[in-house]
Amino acid sequence: MKSLKLISLSAIIILILGGIPHLIAYGDLTDNVINTEGDIIEEVSSSDTVEVLKVEQSSPYAPLLGKWKVSWDSEEIKGSAIYQIKEVGETIKGFSVKLFDEHEQSMNDNTHVFTLKSFKDKKGKGIYKLDYEGEGYEIPCKIELITPNQLKVSYDYYGYADTEIWNRVK
Amino acid sequence: MIEFLSKKLEWLDVEYWFTVFNDWSLIYLIIPFFIIELIRYKFQGRLNKDLIFDSVANVLTFGAFYVIEIIIGILFATKLYFWVYANFSLPHLPLNWATVICCVLLADFAYYWEHRMMHRIGIGWATHTVHHSSPHFNMSVAYRFGPLDAVFPLFFSIPIVMLGFDPILVLLSELFVQSFQAILHTEVIKKLPGPIEFIFNTPSHHRVHHGSNRQYWDKNYAGILIIWDRMLGTFEPEVEEVKYGISEPINSNNPFTVFFHGLQRLSLKMTRVKGIFNKILVFIKPPDWRPK
C-alpha cells in the first residue's frame, strides 16, 4: 500500500478516535443547562466554561456565605488561606482573600477559587480551582456543611483525592 | 448512546476494571491456560526438555524486560508523559466512557504501528526478534520480550497523551492491549466464528504473525482489532500450517542468548557493513536490507 494512502488512512482514524471524546466532552459541557424547581439554574459560563449556579435574591445558600479558613500541611503545600464565599451577581463564588505561608506570614489575594453548582440539604457540588505545578485545574468537588462552622470539601481527580475542612472565620 | 458515552466515571472504578483485565488475567486466564497447553503437549508427545527450557527462558526474558521497563518508567517515561500532558496537550478530557473506549482503540492503533515498525526497522527487529525466535507457540511465548521492547511504545503513546488523554489511562490502555495479545499465543484454539475472525485479532491470526513461512512474514500486526491490518494492507489468513520461529533460528534456550541475540546480530551486521552512512541505515532500514 502506498505511503500516502497509509498516512491518510491513519490520520483519519486518529482524527476520528481523538475527536469523538472531545466532541462529547464539549457537547456535555454546553448541554448542561438544567432548570430545577425555580431557584437553581445551572448554565455554562461564557468566560471560562465552568458550570455556575444562579441564585435568586432569597438565597438558601446563606449558610455557605462568609469567610472560611483552610489549612494544608503536606509535602506539596504548607500554609493556609482564607476564602470568602459570596454572591456574585446571581452566582455563588469563593475567592481566596488572604494567603498564609507556613510561618504565618500573610499576603492579600483576590483569586477566584470556587464556584458552587448545587446545594441542598447541607450537601452540594462545586468546582474547585487548584494550581498544580504551574497549571490550573478545575476540579469537580463535593461539599458538606458538617456544622454551621465547618464545611467539608472533598474531591477525587484522576486518582488524586483529598478532603479539606474549611472552618468559619468570624 | 451519547448519554452513555458521556457518563462520568470514577477513576477508582476504571482503575479497578483495568486491574482485573490487565493484572489478574495472569492468574485466572494465562496460567490455567498454559497448564492446559502443557497437558495437551503431553498427550501429543510434544512435551520435551526443549519446550520446558524454552518456556523457562521466556519467563526469564520477561523478568529482564520488566526490570528495564520499571527503570525507564521511574527515571524517564512517566515524567515525560506528564510533562507532555501539562505542556503540549489538547484540553484534558474528562473521564467518561467515550474517553476510555477511544483511548483503548487509539492504544490499539498505536500498537499496530509500533509493532509494524518493530518488524520493519533494523533496531526494532533487533529487540522484537526475541519474541519471534521461539520455535514453539504457547502462552509463555507471550512473555518473551527483548531488551528494548519497553522503549518503542513511548514514541507511539506520547501522541495519544497529546490528544488530551490522561497518561495513566494511556498506560492502562496499552497494558490492556498487551494483555489481550497474551491470550492469543495458543495452538489450542483453532478458528473462531466468522464475525469474530473478521473484526478481532484471534489465535489463528496471531499464529500467522509468528509464522516463518514466507507468505506469513510481516503480516497481522494487530493487537486487539485485526481490522487495522485489513485496512492497511497487512492481513493474511491462516491457510498453510504455520512453522514458528525466525528465518535464522538461534537454536538455544540460554536466556542470555535469547535476550540479546537480536542486538548481537545487529551489531555484527553493522561491523560488516562499510561506511558510516550504511551503518546508520542498518539501524533504520528493514532487517533484510543490504547495501548495494
Supply the pLDDT for residue A29.
Answer: 56
Q: Do A17 and B105 lie within an 8 Å CB cutoff? A: yes
Model confidence pLDDT, tens digit, residues B274-289: 999 999 999 999 998 8
Rounded Cα distance, B156 and A161, in Å: 30
Q: A11 to each of A19, A55, A157, A161, B110, how far by Cα in Å?
A: 11, 46, 31, 36, 12
- Among A48-62, B72-86, B159-173, which range has the highest average pLDDT? B159-173
- Report the Cα–Cα distance between both ends of chain A, in Å, rounded: 73
Mean pLDDT of B93-99: 90
| Statement: residue B209 has pLDDT above 80 | yes
The percent of residues above 90 in pLDDT, for chain B, comes to 80
Q: Is residue B199 part of a domain?
A: no
CB B261 within 8 Å of CB B248: no
Supply the pLDDT for residue B137.
Answer: 94
Whether residue A25 lies within 8 A of chain B, CB to CB, comes out as yes
Q: Is residue B217 part of a domain?
A: no
Residues 6+ apart with CB under 8 A from A77: none
Q: Is residue B224 part of a domain?
A: no
Supply the pLDDT for residue A50.
Answer: 42
Which 265-284 residues of chain B touch chain A by CB within 8 A?
A: none
User: B140 lies in which domain range?
Assistant: 2-188+238-284
- Which residues of chain B make contact with A17, given a CB cutoff of 8 A? 102, 105-106, 109
Q: Which residues of chain A have pLDDT under 50?
A: 32-57
Whether residue B117 lies within 8 A of chain A, CB to CB, comes out as no
Q: Is residue B58 part of a domain?
A: yes
Supply the pLDDT for residue B193.
Answer: 94
Model confidence pLDDT, tens digit, residues A18-37: 999 998 887 765 554 333 33
Q: Do A25 and B98 lie within an 8 Å CB cutoff? A: yes
A135 → closest Cβ in B86, B95, B159: B86
Q: Is residue B144 part of a domain?
A: yes
* Interface contacts (A, B; CB < 8 Å): 71
What are the DSSP calls for A76-131, one per residue?
A: S-EEEEEEEEEEETTEEEEEEEEEE-TT--EEEEEEEEEEEEEEETTEEEEEEEEE
| Statement: residue B7 has pLDDT above 80 | no
A52-83 burial, b if ≥16 CB within 10 A, otherwise e? bbebeeeeebeebebbbebeeeeeeeebbbbb
Whether residue B199 lies within 8 A of chain A, CB to CB, comes out as no
Supply the pLDDT for residue A148.
Answer: 87
Q: Is residue B207 part of a domain?
A: no
Supply the pLDDT for residue A42.
Answer: 38
Q: Is residue B132 part of a domain?
A: yes
Q: B290 to each of B38, B147, B227, B245, B287, how far by Cα in Å?
A: 41, 24, 32, 22, 9
Mean pLDDT of B2-25: 85
Q: Is residue B221 part of a domain?
A: no
Rounded Cα distance, B124 and A117, in Å: 52
| Statement: residue B59 has pLDDT above 70 | yes
Q: Do B93 and A22 lie within an 8 Å CB cutoff? A: yes
Whether residue A156 lies within 8 A of chain B, CB to CB, comes out as yes
Coil, strand or helix at A52: strand
Report angle CA B260, B108, B2 to the nearest 5 degrees: 160
Q: Do A20 and B232 lie within an 8 Å CB cutoff? A: no
Whether residue A28 lies within 8 A of chain B, CB to CB, comes out as yes
Mean pLDDT of B23-49: 93
Indicate the pLDDT class of residue B178, thresholds 50, 70 and 90.
very high
Indicate the pLDDT class of residue B54, thresholds 50, 70 and 90.
very high
CA distance B46 to chain A (A): 40
Number of domains in chain B: 1
* Average of per-residue pLDDT values in chain B: 93
Mean pLDDT of B201-225: 95
| Statement: residue B228 has pLDDT above 60 | yes
